[in-house]
Amino acid sequence: MDMRDVEHYTLPNIRTIQDCEREFPGIITISHYDTYDRFDDLYYKVYFAICACIEIPECASFPIKFKFYPEDEKTFELSMPKFLLNLNAWRPLIELNQLQKYYHHKIEVLDESFIIGTMMNNQSRTALESKVMKILNDYGIQFERISELLKDVIERYQEASIEFAMSDRHAIMTYESVFLKDYLTNEKIRELNNLKIPQSLQTADVEELLQKKTTELLTAFGETKNPIWYVSKAGNHIKPKQVQELFISYGQIPDVSGNVIPYTMQGNGFSTGYVDAASYYIAASGARLSAIMNKTHMGEAGYLSRNLILASRTMTLSKTTFDCGTKHLLSLTVTDSTFLHRLENKWYCEHEGEPLQLIHYEDCKHLIGKRILIRSLLTCAGGDEVCHVCYGADAHLVMNMPGMAIFNTEVYSKPVSQNILSTKHLLYTAANRIGFSKSFDKYFKYNAGDIYLKEKDEVAENAFDGHLSIRIEEGNVIPVNANDMAEYNTFGNNVESPFFIYNSKTKEYEKIEILNYESMFIDAESMKSFKLIEDKREGKQYYEISFSTLSSDLEGRLLSVDIKNNGLTDNLYTIMNLLNKNVAKYDDISKLAQDFFEILIHAGISCRHVQAEVILNRLIRDAHDLYSRPDFTKLEMPEYKIINLNQAIMNYKGATLGTSYQELKRQLLGDALYTEKKGQSYLDPMYAQQIRTDHLKELAEKYRKKREEEQNGTESHTEEH
């Protein structure tokens, strides 16, 4: 039923349990609703019933009784909303009814395992959808039809969630429903909302603290049944980071250059807003950062996805070869449980020659930390096709999918560009943790990115009576602009760890070490308070400042520390640089695969290793014929060459594919166009899949002869004179 058809539908009158019983008497048998129309009648009957009584909890939670098939003895019950969401997920299975005529027995696939009885979240919803999809796939329903049906499912989930949110006044977020009530009645929530974060915490600790507090807050919201809790559970509508900024603290954000602004912004969006000038300023620069990032990185991310799609569309899962019989396995180290998870359903063995087994996470935990051998697309002997054994037991999922390789590469190219697009992700910090030696704490403290000498009452007695000073080796003070012609450097100096506390009474040095910083800096003005001295015993030059001078002239501030932010764009560039440039530096495919998989894990991109193998397969070519895959059928390891993504697009037998890259003139005038390019580009919607280039060969031959003749002619002409 189209929503347009039901414009004049009047909602049933449901105010009491009796009304519910009147609407849904007895037990519903799902299999009776065996056409899309009949099924949708039931679906929208439940849908409108919910709309009619959503604000009456005992009605909305009225249990609808149902069973799947007439002969079933077991019946189930679900509250109206849960029943509706489950119904929606089952809807595509109606497609199987049209196959019934080919079967003697009844096609009955639904059972208890298709019921999600808890609050449906993103994960359980996807799991149920995949379960339904797998069944349709197993029964040979065309991939196009399955995606059509799934599109309806997803649209209806959205329709329901928007409609119910609007109908249910509790879900409308008001100041009161969202927070004020909880703030007044719940001590824990009040405490979290008033959290103050000391500036003496370094960024990595601020991140950790805020993560912990956000989890605590979400748990507390769960107990008070706060709408935020429902929203955060129901999918990706609100991120923990947003909850944190709204209700706990703005925290810290990165700057344009990719370092952290080490000031923890005061307050939160809900109760205080931007309370001090520093927070306001940092937030304002953060707002610009998003725009700058979009402008500077989006193009490259888009270009990467495009090239990945172009290259991957040249490969497909074989329809004829189940096992290519490759003699070569890919050796990988299972670094941790995530790595193992991503190998699910791949064929492996621990030692060469052993029979292959499937990896299932639960049974294979003993592999963590080991080096294993897997059947892999990298060493598949199928040429431009890959076989099912190299792909692994997930092959059936993509078997009927045209352009499965494109889908597989999008799994990791999409998150990269989406994360860049989505500005809210950019203002995360993922900072390196700065390490301080024990001796550091004796004399110094960290505050909002600066290193200060401790106050007099915080350090051991006598520290300020003149015998202690800070000494930095001359070589560890590096002028920021070394080429500056001015008499003294006006830009300040970078400082490298370690430096020393010098005790003039004992003539001893105590080493102070700071680790993991991006850079440390003393400004030019402060540098004037340092004196260059020589320790004659050691024969070394030091910049020196006494504790008392530091505390009086510079208010105790020794230097400032820059902290590196490991932003998302860094991950993007690591991936991009690997595929566009650095792959060509690898001469070992195992090492390449290992690194690529680990980069994807590190970047937080969720995909199976086999999906990453798809693109690596395209980059590995025969060392003697860059247009072809190496011959992995021979026992001996073939000589191979790893080429970068752009080269992979250019060096392909399909004539159109290369021209969709760049350097068009060079390609059109190059010999390869008529000597090599006579294959086809797999599934290319822009061009003909195959272009004949034989006549070009004749043409080229003709012109070669003509040129020769001309040359000969000129030569003989010259001889005559």
Interface with Zn ion by CB under 5 A: which residues? Answer: 324, 380, 382, 387, 390
In angstroms, what is the minimal distance from the CB of 630 to Zn ion? Answer: 12
In angstroms, what is the minimal distance from the CB of 104 to Zn ion? Answer: 37
In angstroms, what is the minimal distance from the CB of 394 to Zn ion? Answer: 14
d(CA 261, CA 242): 19
In angstroms, what is the minimal distance from the CB of 608 to Zn ion? Answer: 17
620 - beta bridge partners?
642
In angstroms, what is the minimal distance from the CB of 256 to Zn ion? Answer: 47
In angstroms, what is the minimal distance from the CB of 389 to Zn ion? Answer: 6
Give the H or E element holding residue 542. Answer: strand 540-546
In angstroms, what is the minimal distance from the CB of 280 to Zn ion? Answer: 59
* Cis upstream peptide for 70 (omega within 30°): no
Asked if 406 and 313 touch (Cβ cutoff 8 Å), the reply is yes
Using the minimum distance from each CB to Zn ion, give the nearer residue, 317 or 649. 317
Length of the chain: 721
Two tokens, residue 88: 């929606």
Using the minimum distance from each CB to Zn ion, give the nearer residue, 82 or 375. 375
d(CA 275, CA 16): 49
Cβ count within 10 A of residue 690: 14
Using the minimum distance from each CB to Zn ion, give the nearer residue, 316 or 546. 316
Cβ count within 10 A of residue 661: 19
Using the minimum distance from each CB to Zn ion, give the nearer residue, 542 or 682. 682
In the numeric block, the tokens 């929203």 are attached to 231
In angstroms, what is the minimal distance from the CB of 390 to Zn ion? Answer: 3
Using the minimum distance from each CB to Zn ion, give the nearer residue, 262 or 382. 382
d(CA 415, CA 417): 6
Two tokens, residue 537: 């015993």
In angstroms, what is the minimal distance from the CB of 386 to Zn ion? Answer: 6
Which amino acid would we find at residue 487?
E
Using the minimum distance from each CB to Zn ion, give the nearer residue, 183 or 682. 682
Which residues touch 507 (CB under 8 Å, ≥6 apart)? 537
Q: Nearest Cα to 93, choosing from 110, 71, 105, 72?
A: 110
38 to 42, 47, 97: CA distances (angstroms): 7, 14, 13
Backbone torsions φ then ψ of 474, nearest 5 degrees: -50, -40
Using the minimum distance from each CB to Zn ion, give the nearer residue, 385 or 684. 385
- Judged on CB neighbours under 10 Å (0-12, 13-18, 19+), 101 is exposed
d(CA 534, CA 290): 49
In the numeric block, the tokens 């009619």 are attached to 52
Using the minimum distance from each CB to Zn ion, give the nearer residue, 334 or 380. 380
For 206-238, b/e burial (b = at least 16 CB within 10 A) is bbebbeebbebbbebbeeeebbbbbbbbbeeeb
Using the minimum distance from each CB to Zn ion, give the nearer residue, 323 or 518. 323
